[in-house]
């Protein structure tokens, strides 16, 4: 596609990235067929090709309106369109740039502005979020549905193994996961311990930066990223850790992008690139040890359980990791049921479920129907947002897959 970017952006770093991406798009429209919001709304401007066109117009100098912003707001950033695109268009990066520009040109007003500010300031602060989660659990029965959905019941996390192996890896603590489901990182630590790897969380780490970045607070998102880099760098520099392990695929996709996002930062560019290289989804680590794991699991036995697997968009479209978790779950004796439209988003998408609740709930209902069609008695996923969102709409237990492997290995109830 030919472009003529306007003066305000043409010679900037973002302008060059956007120009490269726009030129790759041949406007074929293949991506619209796999876009959840296009499927729901049937409007070209609520699909990837239309949104690319809107962003191109804005970057070429056309004034955006609130309607432009709405079409971009409705995008889930699920990146299903990237998986479908035959031309390798990095839609997610283009959307980040487009949204940031539109946000500045069409400032938000009233409740929309306040809610987004509150999300940016509250969600990434793990201490504040944890205190609110504790308070929310005390009054859970009295909360409105939209908030009750975000307050899962507490589950015990179990012991964290003491460090004892020569192989060591860091884990991201994150922002919402420690309060919502501390059992996930603890389960990962126990599974990796069984495989001869000690996992630990570095003090000072926190939100991966995705919350603020995707709410168009790029400076705030970068500050979160730099804080994590500072927390991890001493262990990385001393060569003490061989990987930085993600148990939330949403965080993994973000940290894999640190190298790109901080590429022009004179102090952090090299460190960010190294951190991105070291970042691995926990499934990549465990799949590499699948023979050892399968042997341990066989020794434990266990009943086959029909299970529906929901691959988060950040895992399948963002990190492009497909098939690994399914192999691990099968090795652990779970019978994976067929799931229709597995490429489609569940509607969680970070803060999307709060900002676009109607679309989000419609997508969740469709996803839960698809997950239930094969008779599964259990649902597994790989991202805290998807797990919490899906669990709020069903009585079928929804768990992180690493918790299920841990339960089978260590004889815990699911
Ligand atoms: S993003 Fe890719 S699939 Fe979509 S219109 Fe452009 S080239 Fe075609
Ligand atoms: S990221 Fe998802 S919702 Fe957004 S345009 Fe692409 S497929 Fe559609």
Domain spans in the chain, listed from the N-terminal domain onward: 7-105, 299-410
Sequence-ordered alpha helix ranges (H) in 46-125: 48-59, 66-73, 80-84, 91-105, 110-122
Q: Taking residues 186-191, report their average pLDDT.
A: 98
Q: Distance from the CA of 209 to the center of ligand 2, in angstroms?
A: 21
Does 7-105 match 299-410 in CATH topology? no
Question: How is domain 299-410 classified at the CATH fold level?
Answer: Rossmann fold (3.40.50)
The DSSP line for 2-24 is -----HHHHTSHHHHHHHHHHHH
For the Cβ of 366 lying below 6 angstroms from any atom of ligand 2, the answer is: no
Closest ligand to residue 34's CA: 2
User: What atom in ligand 1 is closest to the CA of residue 29?
Assistant: 5
For the Cβ of 85 lying below 6 angstroms from any atom of ligand 1, the answer is: yes
ipTM of the predicted assembly exceeds 0.95: yes
**Helix (H) or strand (E) segment spanning residue 159:** none
Contact 162, 190 (CB under 8 A): no
Q: Distance from the CA of 347 to the center of ligand 2, in angstroms?
A: 11
Q: Distance from the CA of 371 to the center of ligand 1, in angstroms?
A: 29
Nearest CA to ligand 2 atom 7: 35
Maximum separation of any 2 CA atoms in the chain, in Å = 66
Whether residue 54 is predicted with pLDDT greater than 80 in this model: the reply is yes
How do residues 142-166 score in pLDDT, each as one tens digit? 887 777 777 888 788 899 999 999 9
For the Cβ of 29 lying below 6 angstroms from any atom of ligand 1, the answer is: yes
Distance, in Å, from the CA atom of 273 to the CA atom of 262, rounded to the nearest integer, reads: 8
Task: Give 34's DSSP letter.
Answer: G
Residues 6+ apart with CB under 8 A from 282: 188, 192, 245, 246, 247, 402
First-to-last alpha carbon distance for the chain, in angstroms, is: 51
The pLDDT confidence band at residue 131, using thresholds 50, 70 and 90, is: confident
Closest ligand to residue 363's CA: 2
For the Cβ of 89 lying below 6 angstroms from any atom of ligand 1, the answer is: yes
The pLDDT confidence band at residue 65, using thresholds 50, 70 and 90, is: very high
Could you tell me how far CA 410 lies from the centroid of its own chain? 28
Nearest CA to ligand 2 atom 5: 48
Distance, in Å, from the CA atom of 10 to the CA atom of 17, rounded to the nearest integer, reads: 10
pLDDT computed for residue 308 by the predictor: 98
Q: Does domain 7-105 have CATH number 1.10.1060.10?
A: yes
How do residues 224-241 score in pLDDT, each as one tens digit? 999 999 999 999 999 999
Please provide residue 70's backbone torsions phi and psi, each rounded to the nearest 5 degrees. -65, -45
Q: Distance from the CA of 25 to the center of ligand 1, in angstroms?
A: 5
Q: What is the residue-averaged pLDDT of the chain?
A: 95
């Amino acid at each position: 596609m030919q472009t003529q970017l306007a003066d305000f952006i043409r010679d900037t770093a973002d302008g060059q990235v956007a120009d490269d991406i726009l030129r790759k798009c041949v406007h074929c429209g293949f991506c619209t067929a796999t876009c959840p919001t296009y499927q729901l709304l049937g409007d070209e401007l609520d699909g990837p090709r239309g949104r690319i066109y809107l962003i191109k117009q804005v970057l070429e100098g056309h004034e955006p309106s609130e309607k432009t912003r709405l079409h971009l707001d409705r995008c889930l950033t699920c990146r299903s369109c990237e998986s479908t695109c035959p031309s390798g268009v990095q839609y997610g990066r283009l959307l980040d740039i487009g949204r940031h520009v539109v946000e500045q040109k069409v400032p938000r007003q009233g409740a929309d502005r306040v809610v987004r500010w509150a999300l940016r300031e509250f969600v990434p602060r793990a201490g504040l979020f944890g205190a609110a989660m504790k308070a929310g659990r005390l009054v859970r029965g009295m909360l409105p549905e939209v908030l009750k959905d975000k307050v899962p019941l507490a589950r015990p996390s179990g012991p964290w193994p003491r460090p004892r192996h020569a192989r060591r890896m860091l884990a991201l603590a994150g922002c919402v996961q420690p309060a919502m489901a501390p059992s996930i990182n603890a389960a990962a630590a126990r599974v990796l311990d069984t495989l001869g790897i000690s996992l630990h969380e570095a003090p000072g780490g926190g939100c991966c930066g995705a919350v603020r970045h995707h709410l168009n607070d790029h400076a705030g998102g970068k500050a979160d990223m730099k804080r994590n880099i500072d927390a991890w760098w001493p262990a990385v520099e001393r060569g003490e850790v061989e990987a930085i392990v993600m148990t939330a695929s949403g965080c993994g996709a973000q940290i894999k992008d640190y190298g790109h996002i901080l590429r022009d930062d004179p102090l952090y560019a090299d460190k960010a690139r190294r951190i991105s290289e070291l970042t691995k989804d926990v499934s990549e680590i465990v799949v590499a040890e699948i023979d050892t794991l399968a042997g341990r699991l066989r020794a434990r036995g266990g009943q086959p359980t029909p299970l529906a697997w929901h691959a988060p968009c950040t895992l399948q479209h963002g990190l492009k990791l497909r098939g690994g978790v399914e192999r691990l779950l099968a090795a652990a004796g779970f019978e994976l049921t067929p799931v229709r439209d597995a490429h489609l988003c569940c509607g969680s998408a970070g803060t999307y479920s709060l900002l676009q609740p109607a679309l989000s709930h419609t997508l969740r209902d469709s996803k839960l129907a698809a997950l239930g069609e094969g008779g599964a008695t259990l649902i597994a996923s790989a991202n805290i947002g998807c797990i919490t969102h899906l669990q709020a709409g069903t009585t079928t237990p929804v768990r992180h897959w690493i918790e299920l492997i841990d339960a089978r290995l260590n004889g815990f109830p699911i």
